Amino acid sequence: MLRINGLPSCIFGAGRPFSSGWVQRLAALFRDERGVSNLLVTLFLLPLLLFLMFAIVPVFVYSMKGAHMNTAVSHALKEAEAVGYVSPEVAARLNDRLAALGMGGVTVNGTGYPSYAGSTAGKVLRDAADPTVKLAVKYPAPNLSRMLRAIGGQGGGEAAEGFYYIVLYGRSEAYE
Q: 1 or 162, which is more confident?
A: 162
Q: Would the pLDDT of 2 be above 50?
A: no
Distance CA 100, CA 94 (A): 10
pLDDT in tens, 49-82: 888 888 788 888 888 999 999 999 999 999 999 9
Report the length, in residues, of the chain.
176
| CA quadruple 5, 7, 8, 12: dihedral sign | negative
Q: Is 43 exposed, middle or buried (0-12, 13-18, 19+ CB in 10 A)?
A: exposed
pLDDT value at residue 96: 95
Assess whether pLDDT exceeds 80 at residue 5.
no
H-helix segments, the chain: 21-32, 34-83, 88-100
Percent of the chain with pLDDT strictly greater than 90: 35
- Coil vs helix vs strand at 175: coil
* Whether pTM exceeds 0.75: no
